[in-house]
Chain A
Amino acid sequence: MSTSVATAGRRAPTTAHKHSLHRSRMWALWGSYIALGVFVIMFLIPPFYTLMTSLKSSAEISAQTGSPWIVHHPTLANFWYLITYPNFQRYYLNSIIVTVLTVAVSMVISVLAAFSLSRMGFWGSQTLSTGVFLTYLVPSSLLFIPLFQIVGWLGLINNFWCLVLLYPTLAVPFCTWIMIGYFSSIPKELDEAALIDGAGYLQILWKIFIPVAMPGIIAATIFAFTVAWGQFLYPLAYLYTSNQMVLTVGIISDLIRGDVFQWGKIMAACLLASLPPILIYAFLMDYYVAGLTAGATKG
């Protein structure tokens, strides 16, 4: 092989150069695939293990024999138990209610504000834009203790409606920021033409901006969904009875009783609870990634 390349090289240097270039590129490509494969395997170990455990019976887990990485007698008993378990149904329903309302509230607030901040402006709107960005940098764990007091005054301790009030504070700043970016990229001529034709501002927003900025709206919606579905600190701090809990805390406080860990059921519950985000990302990931990276590059 090498000799043939060498002789070819003596005869026609250009083709040999091309060959070696091609070959090094092939190597880089295959190397990349192999390295990525290794990373994918490492990254997917925990989800894989979740799936394996969720298919095991309690007896198989407590027997502690054989490899924990594979299922010897797969069973759907854990899933069936959870689907027919009233508490788990309750958590799921609560999560859905809280998430849907949070997404709706956050999107209305942030789309209106982004339209105003990107196009209309008023005294102090620049300061407000900066303020919105800085609010995004405030993490949920910074203010949960004063919020505990405020939620108490509102009489919403141990009531999942407090989450509907609080989650938008985590979602709205970033959603507004994404939407400002998308709205600013819409050419000004478009709304000026509509204004001359006698359209009102809300009409412009509804008929022009929202349809044109649909990718941004999808991205912002997914962000709000992710926040509301996965938040753990607020429900853990403010909810304590099972009829009010959402999935993240419900699974932990219900399926772990003292020292008894029903790992099969916990893992099955994790899978069922991760299903909505996984499905949403499977179909809409491109929009989300585009919105996220666009937001960051503009900042």
Chain B
Amino acid sequence: MASGTSIPIGVMTAGRTGVQRGSMRRFAQRRSTIAFLLCLPLILLIATFVVYPAIYAIYLSMLNKKMTTFVGLGNFAFLLRRHTFQLVIFQSCLFAITSVVLKAIIGFILAHLMHNIPGKNQRIWRGLLLVPWVIPLALSTLTWWWMFDPSYSAFNWVLNRFGIASVPWLGVGWIARFCTITVNVWYGTPFFMIMYLAALKSVPDQLYEAAAIDGANAVQKLFFVTLPMMRNIIAITVLFSLIVTFADFDIVRILTAGGPQDMTHVFATYAFQVGIQSGDIPLGAADSLFMFPILAFAAFFVLRGVTQRTKEIAA
């Protein structure tokens, strides 16, 4: 990435002009050499296992299945024509957007409820609510799978108790989609809650007092004080969550493995099925590369908004 140690500009604070320019420069040079060496492990790690694989993925995605001939954009065109892949695009977006919106709303409500109760009690409640987020997702998804079990499942037993017929939770497309989203919301909401709670605590009380004097009601306070003050943290949290959710693998893989009739596949699980299980590595690489422009687009706009607002606040 950074090509080296050659030009140490702006390292030292300007102002100490004069006396020992030469030794100062040597000092600055030595300083930036050490600085570069300290970063070297990071640079090597990212270059070898992130940047290189990313470039290699683009190359891979343009080969045929046996990886012998160059097919250009053939794999991408093939995927786009395939009905299963069209489903994958739709489902990834549905899964990510629905989950993130639900997580954001429930997390917001939880953070507000938490903000209402006295500080000394918050710790224990927060601890209880963070449990879903602490358990490794692959393991908690196993429990959900067992709860969705069609024959003797926890949920169906409750439904039967109230005289409702058993639901084939993971056996019917739209219900299975709903189940995967539910698990994701259950897992991800605590993250939103703690982020929002930290943001709520950082809003100065004077703003609410000023709003109250101006006669603002609770809803007006929410929309004209709380939300504007939290905009940056909401944007960042949504971005993180959107990326993680969009690229989710564990839930769909364990709960449905993409079924029934490929109606729950997302990019990651489909790439795994095509690339690793069926051994068509180029097609799998092409599939996961589809995620990149979508994620980059979201990241670009969110981060641009955040920097703009930070500048406005600073100005």
Query: Which residues of A does B touch, CB under 8 Å?
Result: 28-29, 32-33, 35-36, 39-40, 43-47, 49-50, 53, 61, 64, 67-69, 108-110, 112-113, 115-117, 120-125, 127-128, 131-132, 134-135, 137-150, 165-166, 168-169, 172-173, 176, 201, 229-230, 232-233, 236-237, 247-249, 251-252, 261, 263, 266-267, 270, 273-274, 277-278, 281-282, 285-286, 289, 292-293, 296-297, 299
Contact = CB atoms under 8 A, between A and B. Distances in A.
Given A127-B1, A232-B250, A297-B202, A46 B110 contact: no
Nearest to A33: B117
Interface in B105-157: 106, 109-110, 113-114, 116-117, 123, 125-132, 134-140, 142-144, 146-147, 151-154, 157
A264 B295 CA distance: 40
Contacts of B142: 251-252, 266-267, 270
The 7 nearest A-B residue pairs measured at CB? A124-B2, A230-B136, A139-B247, A120-B35, A141-B268, A293-B198, A116-B38
Interface stretch (B41-49, B167-175, B219-227): B41-49
Interface string B32-69: 11111011011101100110111011001000000000
Task: Identify whether the interface residues of B are mostly helix, strand, loop, or mixed.
Answer: helix
A135 B50 contact: yes
Given A131-B1, A282-B127, A297-B202, A232 B117 contact: no
B216 interface: no
B8 interface: yes
Interface string B249-293: 110011000000000000110011001100001001100110110
Nearest to A233: B249
B22 interface: no
Nearest to A152: B281
B8 A122 contact: yes
B45 A145 contact: no
Interface residues of B, number: 104
Contacts of B243: 137, 139
Nearest to B193: A39
Contacts of B42: 109-110, 112-113, 128, 132, 172, 176
A127 B29 CA distance: 19
Given A273-B139, A297-B202, A233 B268 contact: yes
B23 interface: no
Contacts of B11: 120-122
Contacts of A172: 42, 45-46
Nearest to B55: A146
B299 interface: yes
B132 A120 contact: no
Contacts of A270: 135, 139-140, 142-143
B46 A131 contact: yes
B250 A296 contact: no
B236 interface: yes
Given A112-B41, A131-B1, A49 B131 contact: no
B27 to A, nearest CB: 10
Given A46-B144, A69-B157, A117 B39 contact: yes
Given A36-B125, A49-B147, A296-B236, 15 more contacts: A32-B116, A39-B106, A64-B151, A112-B39, A112-B41, A113-B41, A116-B38, A141-B271, A141-B288, A146-B53, A148-B275, A148-B281, A169-B50, A232-B138, A270-B142
Contacts of A168: 45
Given A50-B143, A274-B139, A289-B194, A145 B57 contact: yes
